[in-house]
Structure 1
Amino acid sequence: MKRRKHSRREAIKGSAALGLTLFASPLKAQAPEPAAITPQLIEGAKREGKVVLYSAMDLPVGEKLGNAFQAQFAGIEVQIERTGSERLFQRIAQEFSSNIHAADVIATADASHFISWKRNGWLAPFVPEDVAKFFPAEYRDADGMFITSRIWLSSIAYNTNLVKPAEAPASFAELLDPKWAGKMVKGHPAYSGTIMTSTFQLVRELGWEYLEKLSKQRVMQVQSSTDPPKKLSLGERAIMADGNEYNVVLLKEAGQPVEPIYPAEGTPTITGPTAIFASAPHPNAARLFQAWLHTRETQQFFTDFTAQYSAHPQVTPKPGRRKISDIKLMKEDAAGVEKMADEIKTRYARLFRV
Structure 2
Amino acid sequence: MAAALVVPMALLGSCAGSADPTQPGAAAEEGGYGGALGSDAEEAEFAELYAAAMDAGENQVIAYGPPPARALIDAFQERFPGIEITYQQLQTAERIAKLEQEKQTGNYVADVASDGRTPIVAMALDKWCQQMDPIMDIPAEWVGPESRAFFPYVSVFGLVVNTDMIDPEDAPKSWQELVSPEWEGKVVMVSPAGGGAAAFTFAMMMTPEENAEKYAGIREGIKQNVTLVAKDALVLQEVAQGTYPIGALAYYPYFMETVAQGAPIEFVFPFAEGGGNMWTKSGNCLIENAPHPNAGKLWINWLTSVEGQETLAEAGWYPTMPGMAGPGGLPALEEIDKIKTLSDEEAITGYGPYVQEVITFFGG
User: What TM-score comes out, normalization by structure 2 length?
Assistant: 0.70
Aligned to 1:49: 59
Aligned to 2:270: 262
Aligned to 2:74: 67
Matched, 1:176 2:179: yes
Report the residue type matching 1:243 in the other structure.
A
Query: What's the offset of the Cα at 1:159?
Result: 2.1
* Residues 82/173 of structure 1: CA separation in 2 closer, same or farther (3 Å cut): farther
The secondary structure found in structure 1 opposite 2:147 is coil
Aligned to 1:7: none
Task: Quote the Cα distance in structure 1 between the aligned partners of 2:323 and 2:335.
Answer: 17
Aligned to 2:148: 145
Task: Quote the Cα distance in structure 1 between the aligned partners of 2:234 and 2:45.
Answer: 38
| Stretch deviating more after TM superposition (293-302 or 254-263) | 254-263
Aligned to 1:351: 361
Aligned to 1:18: none
Report the residue type matching 2:284 in the other structure.
T
Aligned to 2:333: 324
Task: Quote the Cα distance in structure 1 between the aligned partners of 2:217 and 2:326.
Answer: 37
Report the residue type matching 2:69 in the other structure.
G
Aligned to 2:228: 220
Report the residue type matching 1:323 in the other structure.
A
Aligned to 1:20: none
Unaligned runs of 5+ in 2: 1-43
Aligned to 1:312: 321
Task: Quote the Cα distance in structure 2 between the aligned partners of 1:286 and 1:78.
Answer: 9
| Stretch deviating more after TM superposition (138-147 or 88-97) | 88-97
Query: What's the offset of the Cα at 1:128?
Result: 2.6
Query: What's the offset of the Cα at 1:64?
Result: 1.2
Indicate conservation of the 8 Å contact 1:152/1:245, yes or no: yes
Task: Quote the Cα distance in structure 1 between the aligned partners of 2:294 and 2:241.
Answer: 43
Indicate conservation of the 8 Å contact 2:180/2:221, yes or no: no
* Residues 172/138 of structure 1: CA separation in 2 closer, same or farther (3 Å cut): same
The secondary structure found in structure 2 opposite 1:115 is helix
Query: What's the offset of the Cα at 1:254?
Result: 7.0
CA RMSD across the alignment = 3.4
Aligned to 1:154: 157
Cα deviation per residue 1:271-306 (whole Å; 9 max; x = unaligned)? 222111214343332122112222222212222x13
Report the residue type matching 2:180 in the other structure.
D
* Residues 322/314 of structure 1: CA separation in 2 closer, same or farther (3 Å cut): closer
Aligned to 2:6: none
Indicate conservation of the 8 Å contact 1:41/1:288, yes or no: no
1:243 to 250, 274, 282: 250
Task: Quote the Cα distance in structure 1 between the aligned partners of 2:101 and 2:94.
Answer: 11
Matched, 1:81 2:92: no
* Residues 94/199 of structure 1: CA separation in 2 closer, same or farther (3 Å cut): farther
Task: Quote the Cα distance in structure 2 between the aligned partners of 1:285 and 1:143.
Answer: 21
Task: Quote the Cα distance in structure 2 between the aligned partners of 1:189 and 1:120.
Answer: 31
Give the total of aligned pairs: 306
Query: What's the offset of the Cα at 1:96?
Result: 4.0
Cα deviation per residue 1:81-110 (whole Å; 9 max; x = unaligned)? 358xxxx2233244345558654222323x
Matched, 1:302 2:305: no
User: What TM-score comes out, normalization by structure 1 length?
Assistant: 0.72
1:186 to 184, 190, 196: 190
The secondary structure found in structure 1 opposite 2:87 is strand
2:302 to 256, 269, 292: 292
The secondary structure found in structure 2 opposite 1:199 is helix
Matched, 1:114 2:117: no
1:127 to 110, 127, 133: 133
Task: Quote the Cα distance in structure 2 between the aligned partners of 1:324 and 1:299.
Answer: 12
Task: Quote the Cα distance in structure 1 between the aligned partners of 2:89 and 2:184.
Answer: 33
* Residues 150/318 of structure 1: CA separation in 2 closer, same or farther (3 Å cut): closer
Matched, 1:202 2:205: yes
Query: What's the offset of the Cα at 1:66?
Result: 1.0
* Identical columns (%): 18
The secondary structure found in structure 1 opposite 2:263 is coil
| Stretch deviating more after TM superposition (263-272 or 243-252) | 243-252
Aligned to 2:34: none
Indicate conservation of the 8 Å contact 2:157/2:251, yes or no: yes
Task: Quote the Cα distance in structure 1 between the aligned partners of 2:79 and 2:193.
Answer: 36
Report the residue type matching 1:338 in the other structure.
I
Indicate conservation of the 8 Å contact 2:316/2:328, yes or no: no
Aligned to 1:91: 94
Matched, 1:282 2:285: no
The secondary structure found in structure 1 opposite 2:317 is coil
Cα deviation per residue 1:90-141 (whole Å; 9 max; x = unaligned)? 33244345558654222323x22233112211111122312xxx22222223
Report the residue type matching 1:262 in the other structure.
P
